[in-house]
Structure 1
Amino acid sequence: MLKWGVRIGLVLLLVLGASYLFREQIIFAVMKSQMEPANAFDVAQVPAGLDYADEDAWAALPSKKDGADFIPDQLNRQPQPSDVAVFFLHPTTYLSDAGWNAPTDDPESSEFRDDLVMRAQASAFNGCCEVYAPKYRQATLWSFMDETGSGDKARAFAFADVERAFDEFLKRIDDRPFIVAGHSQGADHVVRLLKAKITGTSLKDRMVAAYPIGFGINPSDMKEAVADIPVCDTPEQTACYVTWNSLGPNAKPFPDYIGAVCVNPLSWTTDGRSVAAEQNTGSLSVGDKVRYEAGVTGAQCQSDRLLVGDFQSDMFDDLPVNMGEDNYHLIDFSLFYGSIRKNAQDRVNAFLSAG
């Protein structure tokens, strides 16, 4: 009996050891089984599209009461400005395996988009600009891990919606200046917009700045594709872009983060200077309880990583999704909400003063 106990113990040790050694492959396999759509991407199977002339096609508009109107109580309330507009693209909120692209009225992803994302991210720009945020047939989360080509097609299909929404946005704002901003999948689409619609055109001269945050942006690719839209090196530079990926010291970066651009959202520079938590004017949590606190964490660009310091608050202890140890992708905006808000105002003021 003792021998069998020893044998079982050894087998369990081997299984546990193999599970540890191959934990990433195991996690990937589990995610694949839960999130990969059953069939390849087929344009004939995508959900119905939207008419962007219709207000219902937008998650946020200046003419609507929506989550992008939110202002934390700790900040001075002010009339919504009208000189500049922002075109904001929400991140992936669709995690289903039901299809490669989301219906824009899917209950769970719509609630996440219209409530949490509009308040935690899009609202950062309501201090400088009128906020326009289209709904779009976003690619499902698995599209970023897919290796069959269906994911790429789903993301390209989603961008076609974004292009149509951007064209309507331009009609609505006439000849006013604008900002383009987005997070994660939204940031991917912002970069696509810069390449397809803005670089080399008169629109570039109207663009205050671009904020494609939480996506791995390759600097060499950008220099080649959008040579007239550089990385922002100073807090008041315009016609440029800023981006970062928030990680702690123990995080393993996503593959596309390797070699990516990093702009520090506390100093708005690309150098490696460390900025202390005391200089972080405000982080925002909009879960069950809204919290806005200063001094939560500092930040430092270390090559392609925005190294986030130890948290001086428990406000982010209960994130809805664990992206991995020290991976703060979900709160790229929230950690630096106050700084983003002020920087957008500073760049708009610089742009308007120069004009």
Structure 2
Amino acid sequence: MAGCMDYSRKSLWAFLPGKKDEQKPVDVFFVYPTIYAHPFRKKRHHMGMVNPIYKWIAKGMCAWQGQLFARHCNFYAPYYRQLGLESFKMPLDEVMRAERMPYADVYDAFTYYLEHYNNGRPFILAGHSQGSAMLLQLMRKEFTDPALQEKLVAAYLIGFSLTRRDFKRYPHLRLAQSGDDLGTIVSYNTTAANVPLMRFLRPDSVCVNPLNWRHDGAYAGKELNEGAVLFDFGKRFRFEAPHYTGAYIDEGRGVLVIDDDAAYRLYKAKWIFKKFLMNRGSLHMLDIALFYKNLESSVKNRIDHYFESIKKAPL
């Protein structure tokens, strides 16, 4: 498409491993969530690639959400011309047209990464919200390729809904069944009981509970939660909270529901983004944070399992 991005330019990457960084045996290709809101209701629906404010926010979001992957992987995160927050109110056909540009950027960045940075290593795909939506498109279209399937450790497509239709139409997509299975997708959207859901959550959605790796309504107690990593502005910038909440899947809506007492603590917290969180009817911004340590453990377990499976593979 016209105006394609040249991902050989390092300025188009929020993060690339430095020459002095210790090289790890696995990569992660991370796509950040929606951060862009176009100014003054202008008809510019896509984030500019030179705006220093939005690039700074994107970099910060990658650092916050992506750290759990970066501890175990070489971290690659491209900037892309993402669709702005106003897309929540746009007609569906207009959204679908507008999504072509961010997807083209993510595709181009991933292709460049494979050709110039990957060097044959296995990799993880990871994203949140719009980032997960773009990676899901990528997996639908490109991951019928056995070579890509073989190198995929797992895909963490969190904060965007996958439906039963996705898995029927694209049989190469598989939802995670455990904390260490390979080539599967970890996907869920977090909410509290009896609140309206965000618009992008599709009917007939399915998800996985990152505390017990089940797809049904079986409750996983907070003792299974290895730790949330939260922000309490005005007190502590970052703190870990072991056993913060349990969770179960609301099978009718295809979402992950946290404990009532945890939801109440979040509502009462004096956080800058409290109203943004609760008024949107979900805990979308905390999808990763509430189950952070469990996700981090699963990344390590999957990587370990990947290399164990290679050793056991017949010659």
Which category describes the TM-score, using the shorter chain as reference length? Answer: 0.7 to 0.9
CA distance 1:81–1:299, change in 2 (3 Å): farther
**1:145-191 CA deviation, whole Å, 9 max, x = no partner?**
31163322221111000011001111201211111111110010110
What is the distance in 2 between the residues matched to 1:316 and 1:118? 24
- Which of the residues 101, 109, 131 maps onto 1:186? 131
d(CA) in 2 for partners of 1:179, 1:148: 30
Name the SS for the 2:29 alignment partner. strand
2:208 to 254, 260, 263: 263
> CA offsets per residue over residues 21-51 of structure 1, 9 Å max, x none?
xxxxxxxxxxxxxxxxxxxxxx88xxx6542
Three-state SS of the structure 2 residue aligned to 1:125 is: helix
Q: Which residue of 2 aligns with 1:293?
A: 241
User: What pairs with 1:44-59 in structure 2 (closer than 5 Å)?
Assistant: 50-59=5-14
SS of the residue corresponding to residue 153 of structure 1 reads helix
Q: Following superposition of structure 1 onto structure 2, how do residues 1-355 of structure 1 map, counting pairs within 5 Å? A: 50-63=5-18, 82-96=24-38, 97-98=41-42, 99-115=44-60, 117-147=61-91, 149-171=93-115, 172-225=117-170, 227-255=171-199, 256-286=201-231, 288=233, 289-303=237-251, 304-309=254-259, 310-311=261-262, 317-320=270-273, 321-322=276-277, 324=279, 327-355=282-310
1:326 positional shift: 5.0
Task: Out of 54-63 and 314-323, give the one that drifted further.
Answer: 314-323
Worse overlay, 318-327 or 300-309: 318-327
**CA separation of 1:272 and 1:322: change in aligned 2, threshold 3 A:** closer
Q: 2:313 — aligned with what?
A: none
Give 1:323 deviation, angstroms.
5.0
Q: 2: CA distance between counterparts of 1:62 and 1:216?
A: 30
Distance 1:81 1:277 in 2: 35
CA contact 1:143–1:152 (8 Å) conserved in 2: no
User: In structure 2, how many angstroms separate the alpha carbons of the residues matched to 1:347 and 1:148?
Assistant: 36
Deviation at 1:273, TM superposition (A): 2.0
Paired letter, 2:110: F
Please give the per-residue CA displacement for 1:276-327, whole angstroms capped at 9, x wherever unaligned: 2222112123564122221211111121120111218569541522353651
> Does the CA contact (< 8 Å) of 1:91 and 1:186 recur in 2?
yes
C-alpha distance in structure 1 between counterparts of 2:220 and 2:134, whole Å: 29
Cross-structure match for 1:32: none
SS of structure 2 residue aligned to 1:244: coil
Q: Which has the larger radius of gyration?
A: 1
The more displaced of 270-279 and 84-93 is 270-279
User: Unaligned 5+ residue runs, structure 1?
Assistant: 1-42, 66-78
Q: Is the 8 A contact 2:140 2:173 kept in 1?
A: no
Deviates more, 1:305-314 or 1:333-342: 305-314
Q: Kindly tell me: are residues 262 and 203 of structure 1, through their superposed partners in 2, closer, same or farther at Cα, counting changes over 3 Å? A: same
Higher strand share: 2
Count of matched residue pairs: 295
Whether contact under 8 Å (1:284, 1:337) holds in the other structure is yes
Counterpart residue identity of residue 299, structure 2: A
C-alpha change, 1:188 and 1:125, in structure 2 (3 Å) is same
Deviation at 1:271, TM superposition (A): 3.0
Q: Over the residues paired in the alignment, what is the CA RMSD in angstroms?
A: 2.4
Q: Tell me the amino acid that sits aligned with residue 296 of structure 2.
A: R
For structure 2, which runs of at least 5 residues remain unmatched after alignment? 311-315
TM-score (norm 2): 0.86
Q: Which runs of structure 1 show a deviation greater than 3 angstroms over 4 or more consecutive aligned residues?
A: 312-317
Whichever residue aligns with residue 93 of structure 1, its letter is I
2:155 is paired with a residue whose SS is strand
Aligned residue for 1:149, secondary structure, equals helix
Secondary structure, in 3 states, of the residue corresponding to 1:92? coil
In 2, distance between residues paired with 1:193 and 1:153? 16
Cα distance in 2 for partners of 1:243, 1:336 equals: 12
Cα pair 2:197 2:281 within 8 Å, conserved: no
Change beyond 3 A, Cα 1:302–1:337: same
Query: Deviation at 1:110?
Result: 2.4
TM-score norm. by structure 1 comes to 0.77
**For residue 14 of structure 1, what is the aligned residue in structure 2?**
none
Structure 1 residues 229 and 165 mapped into 2: Cα distance closer, same or farther (>3 Å)?
same
Query: CA 1:248 to 1:163, structure 2 compared with 1: closer, same or farther past 3 Å?
Result: same
Are residues 211 and 319 of structure 1, via their aligned partners in 2, closer, same or farther at CA, if it must alter by over 3 Å?
farther
The change in CA–CA distance for 1:257 and 1:329 in structure 2 (over 3 A counts) is: farther
Partner residue in 2 for 1:19: none
**Could you say what secondary structure the match of 1:250 adopts?**
coil
